[in-house]
């Protein structure tokens, strides 16, 4: 496979790159910021792209935040944005359930393993749910739970979907409930399958490490609604009516962001070196995920402005 074009410091190449695209799908963590630290020059770079008539869409696998939550984070970091420019995996999952699955009542409730961002998005789409942040499930499993889950008396008969995202309050009880719903025929969805959550310059368990016990127990793989799942790309395309050939995916992770753009047959993919993946990964022999362009940092694109 060919190697990506390196744009940093090459104004002519950057101008040609920008001219190729109308839409930039931007991963956030590792591209715009790390944790709560905004990278230098990001606000100016986004302004520069917008000033050239480009549309930017913030695309994130973070499932703990709703779009309004996410906009608050962007605002707090000084990044101007609109809720409609934000596409997060919790929103992607809620839209998939309400507009694509369209489960008939009464068997249309969602058992949520995850945080409030998922609940907010489900509520906005009018999807009924149980679980999630319910304090009644944030406790140890009891002998009564074992019998009540086995005979089904503790289960909601209207649950037709198990949706698993990142849950900082994961426990044995929730995993047991999720398993019982799946065994009774509920559809299995995941906001995203990232194995890790990069934060504080290290890694913590990601959404994919919350759902994997259920995969292990049932032998079923969930339909994932985050990058690199093309269910998310289809939803983005449907919403923004974008021309894939003139759209570029920008990200720091080869296995989620860059793969997402390649599988989605976008016009291009741009890797940045401010996050997880290193250039040694695509330079390695037999590398199977190679971006079309790369820069050291996103703000290197501003060089074309001067």
Annotate 161-202 with DSSP letters as a single string. Answer: EEEE---TT--HHHHHHHHHHHHTT-EEEES---SEEEETTE
Beta-bridge partners for 248: 24, 268
* 186 touches a copy of itself by CB under 8 A: no
Q: Contact region for a copy of itself (CB under 8 A) — 47-55, 61-69, 118-126, 177-185?
A: 177-185
| Residue 179 neighbours by CB distance under 10 Å | 16
Please report how close the Cβ of residue 244 comes to a copy of itself at its closest, in angstroms. Answer: 31
Asked if 140 is part of the footprint of a copy of itself (rule: CB under 8 A), the reply reads yes
Cis preceding linkage at 106, omega within 30: yes
Question: Considering just the CA atoms, what is the radius of gyration of the chain in Å?
Answer: 20
**Hey, what are 146's tokens?**
């074992």
Peptide bond before 228: cis, by omega within 30 degrees of 0? yes
CB of 208 or CB of 226, closer to a copy of itself: 208
| Contact (CB, 8 A) for 68 and 123 | no
281 lies in the binding site for a copy of itself (CB under 8 A)? no
6, 48, 179, 240: which one binds a copy of itself (CB under 8 A): 179
Stretch binding a copy of itself (CB under 8 A), from 57-65, 89-97, 136-144, 238-246: 136-144
Indicate whether 154 belongs to the interface with a copy of itself (CB under 8 A): no
Look up tokens 């998939």; give the residue. Answer: 96
Calculate the CA dihedral of residues 15, 20, 22, 28 and round it to 10 degrees.
Answer: -70
Q: Is 198 in the site for a copy of itself (CB under 8 A)?
A: no
Selected binder of a copy of itself within 22, 101, 154, 205 (CB under 8 A)? 205
* 22: annotated active-site residue: yes
Stretch that binds a copy of itself, among 70-78, 143-151, 156-164, 225-233 (CB under 8 A): 143-151
Query: How far apart are alpha carbons 69 and 48 in whole angstroms?
Result: 25
Q: Give me the catalytic one of 10, 22, 156, 296.
A: 22
The stretch near a copy of itself (CB under 8 A) out of 11-19, 118-126, 141-149, 244-252 is 141-149
CB atoms within 10 A of CB 117: 27
Per CB under 8 A, does 34 bind a copy of itself?
no
- If the CB atoms of residues 130 and 212 are measured against a copy of itself, the closer one turns out to be 212
Q: Which residues are at the interface with a copy of itself (CB under 8 A)?
A: 138, 140-141, 146-147, 149-151, 167-172, 175-176, 179-180, 183, 195-196, 199-206, 208-210, 212-213, 216-217
User: Which positions are annotated as active-site residues?
Assistant: 22
């Amino acid at each position: 496979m060919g190697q990506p074009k390196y744009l940093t410091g090459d104004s002519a190449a950057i101008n040609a790159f920008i001219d190729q695209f109308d839409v930039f799908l931007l991963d956030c963590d590792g591209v715009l910021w790390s944790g709560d630290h905004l990278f230098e020059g990001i606000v100016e770079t986004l302004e520069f792209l917008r000033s050239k008539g480009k549309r930017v869409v913030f695309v994130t696998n973070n499932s703990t935040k709703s779009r309004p939550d996410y906009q608050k984070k962007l605002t707090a970091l000084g990044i101007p944005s609109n809720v409609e420019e934000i596409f997060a995996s919790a929103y992607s999952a809620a839209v998939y359930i309400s507009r694509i699955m369209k489960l008939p009542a009464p068997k249309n409730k969602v058992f949520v393993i995850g945080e409030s961002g998922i609940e907010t998005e489900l509520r906005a789409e009018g999807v009924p749910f149980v679980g999630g942040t319910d304090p009644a499930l944030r406790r140890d499993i009891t002998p009564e739970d074992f019998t009540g889950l086995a005979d089904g008396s503790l289960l909601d008969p209207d649950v037709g979907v198990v949706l698993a995202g990142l849950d900082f309050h994961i426990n044995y009880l929730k995993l047991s409930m999720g398993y019982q719903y799946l065994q009774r025929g509920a559809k299995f969805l995941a906001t995203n399958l990232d194995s890790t959550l990069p934060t504080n310059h290290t890694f913590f368990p990601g959404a994919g490490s919350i759902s994997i016990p259920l995969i292990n127990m049932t032998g079923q793989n969930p339909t994932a609604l985050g990058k690199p799942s093309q269910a998310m790309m289809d939803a983005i395309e449907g919403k923004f009516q974008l021309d894939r050939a003139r759209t570029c995916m920008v990200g720091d992770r080869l296995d989620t962001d860059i793969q997402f753009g390649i599988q989605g047959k976008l016009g291009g993919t741009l890797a940045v070196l401010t996050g997880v993946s290193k250039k040694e990964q695509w330079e390695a022999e037999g590398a199977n995920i190679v971006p079309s362009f790369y820069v050291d940092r996103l703000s290197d694109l501003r060089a074309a402005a001067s």
